[in-house]
Structure 1
Amino acid sequence: MVFYKNEEEIELLRQSALILSKAHGEIALLIKEGVTTAVLDRRAEEFIKDNGGQPSFLNYNGFPYSLCISVNSTVVHGMPSKYALQDGDIISVDCGVFYNGFHSDCAYTHAVGNVSDDVRKLLTVTEESLYKGIEKAVIGSRIGDVSYAVQQHAESHGYTVVRELVGHGLGRNLHEGPEVPNYGKRGQGLKLQNGLVIAIEPMINLGTRQIVQEDDGWTIRTKDNKPSAHFEHTVVVRKDAAEILTTFDYIQKANN
């Protein structure tokens, strides 16, 4: 189902997204060589609950953590663990917050220490792809316009787009319609209207676009074990420019 939000509901989503964005900043403060991904997960849960929210992912379909933490060749849905971050790693932190009845969703891929130039470029282009998609999330566009913008930018730099996993609508439910693929054709799919809230989330690979699922039933990694990057914002479809509810500002402050 596709649910359009009124301004009162969007304000509640905005509040949820603010807690989420600040949680990302708190996590960013901890990301460095030697820190375990379990430590990041505990901090996220603590911060979100201290601010009156609930982690959207915790116990969602049985997922036992607050964060999806995906390192290097893991695309998404990686589980926090005793793994200690190493120099040269990249780590996608995907988090959701449920607050005042509404979910927000946001992901950012961090570089740990000295990351190779080709991997650093992958991160840059993936984040750019996210904003290329957001530029098309305006009234009158179609889902395919968003999808094409992401795909075209990523592939023009020689990267591949994961096709089995998609962005999504969200609001009172963590996953609502419509699906928002990161590949597609312009002019196709649902016509975007004011008040549609979607999570746009490019998942872009350095090597092949093929993925495999690990035996834990959650972790998705690249088939060739080459790095993958993931960036995500929660946005509202508006007339001339999408309104981005989540922000990377707190992450960037933490990294300065």
Structure 2
Amino acid sequence: MIELKTRTEIEAMRPAGAFVAEVLTALQDYAAVGVNLLELDEFAHERIRRRGATSCYIDYHPSFGAMPFGHVLCTSVNDGVLHGLPHDYTLRDGDLLSVDFAVSVDGWVADSAISFVVGTPREDDLRLIRATEEALAAAIDTATVGNRIGDISAAIGAVAREHGYRVNTQFGGHGVGREMHGDPHIANDGRPGRGLPLREGLVIAIEPWFMAGTDEIYTDDDGWTLRSKDGSRGAHSEHTIAITGDGPLVLTSRA
């Protein structure tokens, strides 16, 4: 079911968005060569406890997960492209790390993701990350009253093709509110002018993710981490936005 938020409800979602943005910024500063993924997860968990927030991930157990997730971050490294389960892995120079973080503050959810290189970057990785960020910006620009879900999807797909990447449409954006995942689903490619009309009060997470060499994925033996089928690296960018009469409002902005 599609839920539209009032202006008052959108304002009530701002603290969750600001907290998610704050933690992701701190995580990017904290992540370094020699830091373990489990340390990153505890770093975020401690901030959740201090804020009195609630993780959306710990007890999360959708049909595609082997068991409840059990952590507060998704940490996807290199060819791990989505839903990376934190584990005993120490970050190395040149690792491409994607971090996805979603919490509830005062009953309202915000969801966001960033990708960055730990240590010495490779130009191919930076290009891949920039492509997801450009796709996210293009998609947000189309998230205006009177457009349609297909316009958002088409904007993402166009940027991917411009950079020479193929698009996997199995996982994408979604509605956000009292729960982390709701309607509508927002594929990362599509046809403009199709799908649900965008109305004032719709709050959604838009999340382009691309892989350098393929559009095919498989599930790691951990039952959660999605990896590129050819071993190529992936990147992921995501914001929670509200569609308003004044244009898209980025609730998880890190600017």
Quote the Cα distance in structure 2 between the aligned partners of 1:138 and 1:2: 16
Q: Please, what is the CA RMSD of the aligned residues?
A: 1.0
Aligned residues: 249
Find the residue that maps to 1:140 and give its secondary structure: coil
Q: Which amino acid aligns with 2:231?
A: N
1:177 is aligned to: 183
1:42 alignment partner, SS class? helix
Q: Separation in 2 of the partners of 1:239 and 1:9?
A: 15
1:58-81: CA deviation from partner (whole Å, max 9, x where unpaired):
211111000000001111111111
Say which SS state the counterpart of residue 237 (structure 1) adopts: strand
Instruction: Assess if the C-alpha contact under 8 Å between 1:20 and 1:96 holds in 2.
Output: yes
Percent of paired sites with the same residue: 40
Question: In the alignment, what sits opposite 1:2?
Answer: 2
Q: Which runs of 5+ in 2 are unaligned?
A: 62-67
Task: For residue 143 of structure 2, give the secondary structure of its aligned residue in structure 1.
Answer: coil
After superposition, where does 1:29-48 map in structure 2 within 5 Å? 29-48=29-48
Q: How does 1:108-123 map to 2 (within 5 A)?
A: 108-123=114-129
Deviations 1:185-217 (A, max 9, x none): 000010000010000000111101011112222
Q: Is the 8 A contact 1:49 1:55 kept in 2?
A: no
How far apart in 1 are the matches of 2:17 and 2:49?
14
The answer to whether the aligner puts 1:189 opposite 2:167 as a matched pair is: no
- 2:167 matched to 1:161? yes
Q: Structure 1 stretches (4+) deviating beyond 3 angstroms? A: none
Q: Does 1:54 align with 2:60?
A: no
User: Which residue is equivalent to 1:253?
Assistant: none
Q: TM-score, with normalisation over the residues of structure 1?
A: 0.95
Deviation at 1:240, TM superposition (A): 4.8
Residues 1:69 and 2:75 aligned together: yes
SS in structure 2 at match of 1:41:
helix
**Pair 1:87 & 2:93 matched:** yes
CA deviation profile, 1:27-82 (whole Å, cap 9, x unmatched): 12211101001101001111122112111112111110000000011111111111
Tell me the equivalent position of 2:130: 124
Structure 2 match to 1:243: 249
- Deviation of 1:19 after TM superposition, in Å, equals 1.1
**Residue in structure 2 matched with residue 142 of structure 1 by the alignment:** 148
| Contact 1:126 1:203 (8 Å CA) reproduced | yes
CA contact (8 A) 1:32 1:112 kept: yes
Q: Which amino acid aligns with 1:244?
A: V
Could you list the runs of 5+ residues in structure 1 that have no partner in the other structure?
250-256
Partner of 2:65: none
Structure-2-length-normalised TM-score: 0.95
SS across alignment from 2:247: coil
Aligned equivalents of 2:153, 2:81: Cα separation in 1: 18
